[in-house]
């Protein structure tokens, strides 16, 4: 169920009505949990079993951890189980392909089996049962990546570690813990919540205020506009060019990459805004996940603004445990590079993502010292810094979008060698991007922000977004979010 | 004074450190809250967001009212401002067949003039002819000026779609005289009768019943079905579809801009829709011409597999059309066919005629006037059911001579 569909609107209406009626009662959490499972099961009912399994294992392990002297063992079980699920469902093909390529190169006559479909007989049996019941529905197989697996496993791991470290108490209620893991607004694409935030709020029964409703609606509208009006729009041009990069020249490839930089930002931040809006309507404050990342004036700043829940996760559970910046310069750079590479791998099982992570690691390593020099801090104009960071980040998006080394290298090569041809990039799209960019600059400017915060301006923008959405966009098939594939 | 953002950030960071910790792992000197030592946790950013579009509830009510007002006022205002072609034989342009707001407007115009309204699919619209050669034009001519007939045909409106079209967009024709065409093509196979599941391309999905009765051939997501229900019940959405269809080439603004990257979208969304000359949609060549490959000997020929009336979805919904029109006070005469019987083998022809006669008997049994035109000469058909220009002329001349037709629509009211 995508947030920007009528199906979800009907679903949320029912869930929200029940939630408000049951708020403060013992049925509140089971209702929310049931809704979250229905939401997740709508993607593939079989993966619901997977989610239940990992939730049960984590709950059991953490319960045992609280009572055992061998707490590390139980922590290891929880983390290991989550990573095993993630590794199997997300990376098995990638690992098999590359191991087989290596074996082939080494002349070894062995091959790791490629497990494409998992338990196909189970899927067939379930579909037979569904058909026998007269339902017009086909259960997808287990071979595809479970939606949101990278998010809920990381969320569960963070909770387990926090309990182990004593930073958060163990949640004794399985229902509440399961709701924390599967909370539907943020289940499939984040933000990756911490138990100290979301789990704690799930235990509250504070009344839902007018501000909650108003902020929730505001966040949802902005997110919907970003996704439907901007991300999906830019995606049409990006898909057209990246589908056959060999057919396009430098200007189109550059503009498609530029458009992708904004597409992925609008797509992901739009989803997050909608998720936060839905949470807020229910009185829950989910963490900020994007903070105008293309206004960053350094790579460090960029990573404090982009996918904040993931970057802070890696900081707290990978970078700092590795030693962070406490063990000398060499170790600091090693830890930084490792963290960025793992972050790249987290995004997907393709070399493009690994290279993307490596590039960011290299960029961060190269500029970390520079960014701390007085020259960079005081002499380089702010706009120039922003432009340099944006240019670098956009360049790295080539590898992210292309996914494979072959396509990415073709794009890069053709950008520098293919010469000029009319890119046919819509002026409307450019105008929208520039308008958003100008808005973000104004927002972060003390003087201009005051104008943006004037009530008539806010109301006018909201009206404009709503009217644009209902008038100029065809009710076509909803496009899935990019980050759902992670 | 701190901004709301700053307050939220401070609160979040304050909240983040307020968690009591378990006894082990607590750093020395940690603050104590409620008798338990706490651990400073990474601060979580719980600020509202990174933009200023943050409305209060009161402002949201204002936005809601403005949007509702705009949605209520724009369609009727636009109808007053946008010119509608006033040609004598106007028909909804082929490429605007899905523009139901325009269709509704055309219904209102022609009903207001007292025209006899000719309803049906592309047979009425005139796939092989110009607007001056259509059935409605020929009927006007054959009527000798006594009545004017308006072409309210829409391409692809099989009975299931026609039912929705009349139900949701044809309210303005209430009380008028109607010539309703029944095309037996739609019963010529289970596929035509919408009985084959997930049959592929589906005309006018927005017009068919979305939830009940179930149509096996209609395979659409719940979200799109809800969207269609909203489109047909909220005039603004029909108007928005009209704007997209007539100005943006059936797409939406983003798609249009990809095809016209350097054009100003404001110029596309102007008061007058781009005019397109009326033209035939198919070449006016008889069906059995060697170039057509429709004949019985053609490799692609598939004889009809007629669906019985009692099992037909299309027939059931056609009856719904008749019922709706009569309940609204319309005087209805149904014209059944004429199907191109020259296409049919002997046994197939017998089945077809039985089906046709059953339908006519059923309608007459309900007191509905019916005309069953004789089959036209072979050379006057463009395919299995569309006449050519001369075919419409002959059909019109025959119809005005029929008592049921004359009684229903030729007399004054």
Q: Which residue has the higher pLDDT, B85 or B377?
A: B377
Q: Does A169 touch chain B (CB under 8 A)?
A: yes
Mean pLDDT computed over B192-199: 83
Answer whether residue B21 shows pLDDT above 50. no
pLDDT: which is higher, A151 or A146: A151
Nearest to B50 among A5, A292, A472 (CB): A292
A95-99, A362-366, B136-140, B264-268: the lowest-pLDDT one: B264-268
Count the domains in chain B.
2
**With contacts defined as CB-CB under 8 Å, which chain A residues touch B244?**
472, 474
User: Do B190 and B336 fall within a single domain?
Assistant: yes
Same domain, B104 and B207: yes
pLDDT in tens, A189-205: 889 999 999 999 998 88
B73 domain-assigned: no
**Cross-chain CB nearest to B24 (options A166, A197, A308):** A166
Chain A, 188 to 227: residues with Cβ < 8 Å from chain B are 194, 196-197, 200, 210-211, 213-215, 217-219, 221-222
* B25 pLDDT tier (thresholds 50, 70, 90): very low
Which residues on B lie below 8 Å from A168 (Cβ)?
19
- B33 with B169, same domain? no
Cβ–Cβ gap A475/B227 under 8 Å? yes
What is the tens place of the pLDDT at every residue in B361-371? 999 999 999 99
Among residues B375, B408, B328, B359, the alpha carbon closest in space to that of B159 is found at B359
Given this model, what pLDDT does residue B281 score? 87
Interface test with B, best of A75, A214, A438 (most B CBs within 10 A): A214
A7 touches chain B (CB under 8 A): yes
Residue A154 has pLDDT above 90, yes or no: yes
Regarding whether B230 and B123 lie in a shared domain, the answer is yes
CB-CB under 8 Å, B257 with A429: yes
Residue B372 lies in a domain: yes
Q: Are residues B27 and B131 in the same domain?
A: no
Probe site for chain B from A155, A459, A460, A468 (most B CB atoms < 10 A): A459
- With respect to residue B58, please indicate whether it lies within any of the assigned structural domains: no
Indicate whether B43 belongs to any domain.
yes
Question: Does B96 fall in a domain?
Answer: yes
- Domain presence at residue B72: no
- Residue B32: pLDDT band with limits 50, 70, 90: very low
Residue A303 has pLDDT above 50, yes or no: yes
Please list the active-site residues of A.
Answer: 347
Position B389 scores a pLDDT of 96
Q: How far is B214 from chain A (nearest CA, A)?
A: 11
Is A406 strand, coil or helix?
helix
Q: What pLDDT score was predicted for residue B24?
A: 35
Per the model's pLDDT, the better-predicted residue between B139 and A2 turns out to be: B139
Residues B112, B161: one domain?
A: yes
Alpha helices for A174-249 (secondary structure H)? 174-182, 184-187, 200-202, 210-224, 232-243
Q: What's the average model confidence in pLDDT over B318-343?
A: 95
State residue B27's pLDDT score: 41
Q: Identify from A164, A474, A476, A479 which residue to disrupt to test chain B contact, counting B C-beta atoms within 10 A and taking the largest count.
A: A474
- Does B157 lie in the same domain as B11? no
Residue B236 C-alpha, separation from nearest chain A C-alpha, in angstroms: 8
Domain shared by B195 and B112, yes or no? yes
Task: Tell me which H or E stretch contains A470.
Answer: helix A455-472
In a domain? residue B315? yes
Burial A92-130 (b: 16+ CB within 10 A, else e): bbbebeeebeeeeeeeeeeeeeeeeeeeeeebeebbeee
CATH code assigned at B225: 3.40.50.1110
- Least confident among A113-127, A425-439, B58-72, B146-160: A113-127
Residue B52 to residue A452, Cβ atoms within 8 A: yes
Please provide the DSSP assignment of B274-307 as one string: PP-----SS----TTSTTT--STTSTT-----PP
Mutation site for B-interface testing, chosen from A161, A196, A321, A436 by largest number of B Cβ within 10 Å: A196
Q: What is the pLDDT of residues A355-412, one digit of tens each?
A: 999 999 999 988 888 888 888 888 999 999 999 999 999 999 999 999 888 999 999 9
pLDDT at A116 over 80: no
Is B103 in the same domain as B14? no
Distance of alpha carbon A145 from alpha carbon A346, whole angstroms: 13
Percent of all residues in chain B with a pLDDT value above 90, rounded to a whole number: 63
pLDDT at residue B6, rounded to an integer: 56
Residues of A in contact with B211 (CB under 8 A): none
How many angstroms separate the CA atoms of A144 and A262, rounded? 27
The average confidence (pLDDT) of chain A is 90
Is the minimum CB–CB distance between A441 and chain B shorter than 8 Å? no
Q: What is the mean pLDDT of residues B331-340?
A: 94
Quote the pLDDT of residue A190: 86
In a domain, B80, yes or no: no
Look at residue B2 and tell me whether its pLDDT is greater than 50: no
pLDDT score of B406 more than 50: yes
Same domain, B221 and B362: yes
A25 Cα to chain B: minimum distance (Å): 24
Q: B29: which 2 tokens?
A: 């000197």
Instruction: Give the count of alpha carbons within 13 A of B270, CB side only.
Output: 7
Question: What confidence tier does A118 reach under pLDDT thresholds 50, 70, 90?
Answer: low
Range of the domain at B317: 89-409
Q: So what's the pLDDT on residue B22?
A: 33
pLDDT band for A470, please (50, 70, 90 cuts): confident
Structure confidence at residue B132 (pLDDT):
94
* Chain B, nearest residue to A272 by Cα: B49
Our CA angle for A92, A95, A96, nearest 5°, is 80
What is the DSSP secondary structure assignment for residue A485, as one 8-state letter? G
Instruction: Pick the closest to residue A227 from A139, A166, A290, A147 (CA basis).
Output: A290
DSSP single-letter state for residue A295:
G
User: What percent of chain A is modeled with pLDDT above 70?
Assistant: 94
State whether B287 and B355 are in the same domain.
yes
ipTM field:
0.88
Fill in the DSSP letter of residue B27. P
Pair B39, B162 in one domain = no
A residues 298..317 contacting B (CB < 8 A): 308, 312, 315-316
Q: Given a cut of 50, is residue A282 above it in pLDDT? A: yes
Distance from the B63 Cα atom to the nearest Cα atom in chain A, whole angstroms: 6
The predicted-structure confidence for A231-266, as pLDDT tens digits, reads as follows 999 999 999 999 999 999 999 999 999 999 999 999
Select from B39, B42, B226 the Cβ nearest to the Cβ of A166: B39
How many residues comprise chain A? 486
Q: Among partner residues A233, A273, A453, which is closest to B52 by beta-carbon distance?
A: A453
pLDDT digits (tens, 9 = 90+) for B204-221: 999 999 998 889 999 888
Which comes out higher in pLDDT, residue B41 or A130?
A130
Pick from A175-184, B251-260, B383-392: least confident? B251-260
């Amino acid at each position: 169920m995508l947030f920007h569909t009528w199906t979800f609107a009907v679903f949320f209406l029912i869930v929200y009505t029940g939630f408000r009626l049951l708020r403060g009662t013992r049925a509140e959490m089971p209702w929310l949990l049931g809704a979250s499972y229905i939401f997740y099961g709508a993607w593939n009912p079989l993966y619901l079993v997977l989610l239940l399994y990992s939730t049960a294992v984590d709950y059991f392990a953490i319960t045992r951890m609280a009572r055992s002297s061998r707490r590390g063992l139980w922590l290891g079980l929880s983390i290991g189980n989550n990573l095993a699920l993630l590794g199997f469902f997300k990376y098995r093909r990638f690992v098999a392909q590359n191991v087989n390529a290596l074996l082939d190169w080494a002349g070894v006559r062995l091959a790791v089996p490629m497990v494409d479909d998992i338990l196909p007989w189970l899927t067939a049996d379930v579909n037979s049962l569904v058909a026998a019941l007269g339902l017009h529905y086909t259960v997808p197989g287990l071979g595809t990546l479970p939606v949101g697996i990278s998010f809920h496993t990381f969320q569960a791991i963070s909770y387990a570690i926090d309990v182990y470290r004593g930073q958060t108490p163990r949640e004794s209620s399985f229902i509440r813990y399961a709701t924390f893991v599967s909370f539907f607004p943020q289940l499939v694409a984040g933000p990756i919540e911490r138990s100290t935030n979301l789990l704690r709020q799930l235990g509250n029964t504070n009344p839902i205020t007018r501000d909650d409703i108003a902020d929730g609606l505001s966040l949802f509208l902005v997110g919907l506009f970003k996704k439907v009006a901007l991300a999906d729009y830019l995606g049409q041009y990006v898909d057209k060019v990246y589908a056959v990069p060999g057919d396009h020249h430098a200007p189109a490839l550059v503009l498609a990459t530029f458009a992708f930089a904004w597409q992925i930002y609008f797509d992901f931040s739009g989803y997050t805004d909608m998720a936060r809006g839905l949470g807020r309507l229910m009185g829950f404050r989910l963490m900020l996940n994007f903070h105008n990342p293309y206004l960053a004036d350094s790579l460090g700043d960029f990573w404090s603004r982009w996918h904040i829940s993931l970057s802070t996760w890696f900081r707290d559970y990978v970078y700092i445990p590795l030693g962070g910046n406490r063990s000398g310069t060499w170790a600091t750079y090693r830890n930084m590079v490792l963290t960025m590479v793992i972050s790249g791998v987290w995004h997907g099982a393709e070399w493009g993502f690994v290279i993307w992570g490596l590039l960011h690691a290299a960029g961060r390593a190269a500029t970390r010292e520079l960014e701390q020099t007085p020259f960079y801090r005081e002499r380089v104009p702010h706009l120039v810094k922003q432009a340099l960071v944006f240019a670098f980040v956009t360049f790295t998006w080539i590898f992210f979008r292309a996914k494979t080394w072959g396509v990415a290298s073709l794009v890069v090569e053709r950008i520098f060698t293919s010469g000029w041809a009319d890119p046919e990039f819509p002026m409307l799209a450019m105008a929208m991007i520039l308008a958003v960019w100008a808005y973000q600059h104004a927002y972060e400017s003390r003087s201009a922000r005051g104008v943006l915060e004037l009530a008539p301006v806010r109301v006018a923008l909201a009206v404009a977004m709503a009217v644009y959405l209902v008038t100029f966009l065809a009710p076509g098939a909803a496009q899935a979010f990019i980050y759902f594939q992670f | 004074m701190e901004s709301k953002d700053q307050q939220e950030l401070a609160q979040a960071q304050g909240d983040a450190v307020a968690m009591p910790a378990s006894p082990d792992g607590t750093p020395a000197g940690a603050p104590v809250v409620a008798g338990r030592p706490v651990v400073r946790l990474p601060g979580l950013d719980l600020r509202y967001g990174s933009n200023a579009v943050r409305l209060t509830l009161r402002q949201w009510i204002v936005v809601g009212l403005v949007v509702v007002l705009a949605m209520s006022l724009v369609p009727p205002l636009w109808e007053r401002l946008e010119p509608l072609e006033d040609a004598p034989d106007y028909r909804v342009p082929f490429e605007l067949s899905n523009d139901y707001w325009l269709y509704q407007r055309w219904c209102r115009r022609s009903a207001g003039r007292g025209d006899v309204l000719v309803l049906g699919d592309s047979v009425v619209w005139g796939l092989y002819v110009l607007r001056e050669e259509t059935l409605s034009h020929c009927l006007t001519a054959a009527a000798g000026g006594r009545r004017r007939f308006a072409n309210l045909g829409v391409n692809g409106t099989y009975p299931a779609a026609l039912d929705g079209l009349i139900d949701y967009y044809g309210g303005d024709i209430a009380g008028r005289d109607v010539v309703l065409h029944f095309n037996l093509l739609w019963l010529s196979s289970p596929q035509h009768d919408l009985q084959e599941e997930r049959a592929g391309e589906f005309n006018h999905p927005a017009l068919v019943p979305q939830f009940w009765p179930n149509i096996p051939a209609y395979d659409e997501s719940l979200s799109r079905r809800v969207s269609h229900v909203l489109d047909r019940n909220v005039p603004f959405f029909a108007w928005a579809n009209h704007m997209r269809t007539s100005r943006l080439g059936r797409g939406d603004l983003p798609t249009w801009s990809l095809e016209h990257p350097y054009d100003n979208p404001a110029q596309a969304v102007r008061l007058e829709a781009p005019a397109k000359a009326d033209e035939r949609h198919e070449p006016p060549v008889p069906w059995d011409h060697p170039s057509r490959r429709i004949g019985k000997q053609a490799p692609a020929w598939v004889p009809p597999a007629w669906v019985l009336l009692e099992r037909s979805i299309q027939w059931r919904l056609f009856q719904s059309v008749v019922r709706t029109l009569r309940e609204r006070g319309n005087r209805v005469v149904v014209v059944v066919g004429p199907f191109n019987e020259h296409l049919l083998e002997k046994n197939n022809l017998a089945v077809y005629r039985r089906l046709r006669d059953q339908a006519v008997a059923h309608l007459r049994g309900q007191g509905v006037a019916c005309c069953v035109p004789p089959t036209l000469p072979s050379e006057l058909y463009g395919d299995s059911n569309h006449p050519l220009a001369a075919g419409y002329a002959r059909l019109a001349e025959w119809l005005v001579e029929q008592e049921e037709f004359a009684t229903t629509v030729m007399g004054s009211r």
